Every structure is written in structure tokens, then in C-alpha cells.
Amino acid sequence: MQSGAYSRFKNDSHFTHNEFERLYIKWMHDSIYKVIADNVIVFKEDGNYKGFISVKFREIFSEIGLIAVDEKSRGKGIGKGLLDYVNNLTLDKGLYEIQVTTQFENTTAMNLYAKAGYNIISKKYMYHLWN
């Protein structure tokens, strides 16, 4: 659930009754079982999961779906290592671009991507329309 701390779904007051949690559980399930991701890479240390990243290989680029590092393990290079791993997988596939979408308010992720050499190529505003 830490990967969704800044999610627009978590921050939408219309999402009650654990919809955010159910959505993220489904997202992880569908990533692990290769419905929406081609790979989920996990970092495990001392028998504990410390981080993960999901990636989908498109025709001309790779796309990062979710990335998370346990808040107690942040600042130790795990996120950078996961991104480096995806960089290598992308090159192995003959692709030279990686795209990722995140919330602009998620400064932790934005800083991680910037340190890893990622650039902002566009900003999009997404809204939920409730009737």
C-alpha cells in the first residue's frame, strides 16, 4: 500500500470502504500474474521484501507501473537499483526509452526518478468524474 501513498485514488474522498486498498491489491495481483505487467522485480533482504518494481514492454518503450520501497528501507539505494535493473531489461529488449507516470506531489518518487536521470516530458491532470 506504500506505493499508493500519493495516489489520486487514495486521496479521492469518494473512495470509501477500502476501494483504494482493493484497487491496489488487484493492480499487484494483475502485475504478478502478467495481466498488466511483463515483469515484477522484487528486492528481498534477510528474508524480508524491501522493494519492488513492475514493468511492461511496449512496442517502442518500457513502462514502469508501480515502484515501492519500504519506508524503513528508503535511502539505501534500493529504488535506484530497481530502476537500474529495469534499465538493463529495457536495453536487453532493444528498447531505449522508459516511461513512468507518478503523482507530481509524490516528491519522493520525483526525486528518485530525477537522480536516476529521468526527465519530465509531460504533465497531465486527471480528474475523477462522480455522478
Query: What angle, 0 to 180 degrees and rounded to 10, lies between the N-to-C axes of helices 107-115 and 78-92?
Result: 60
Tell me how far apart the alpha carbons of residues 115 and 69 are, in angstroms, rounded to a whole number. 16
Residue 11's pLDDT is 67
- Helix intervals (H) in the chain: 19-32, 78-92, 107-115
Distance between alpha carbon 66 and the CA centroid of its chain, in Å? 2
pTM over 0.95: no
Contact 68, 40 (CB under 8 A): no
Query: What would the grid cell of residue 98 be?
Result: 522508459
CATH number assigned to the domain covering 2-115: 3.40.630.30
Residue 122's pLDDT is 84
Residue 13's pLDDT is 75
Residue 83's pLDDT is 97
Residue 123's pLDDT is 79
Residue 7's pLDDT is 65
- Domain spans in the chain, listed from the N-terminal domain onward: 2-115
Residue 76's pLDDT is 94
Q: What is the largest CA-CA distance in the chain?
A: 48
Instruction: From first to last of the 131 residues of the chain, give the pLDDT tens digit.
Output: 666 666 666 667 777 777 778 888 898 899 999 999 999 999 999 999 999 999 999 999 999 999 999 989 999 999 999 999 999 999 999 999 999 988 887 888 889 999 999 998 887 777 777 77
Query: What would the grid cell of residue 12 be?
Result: 479521492
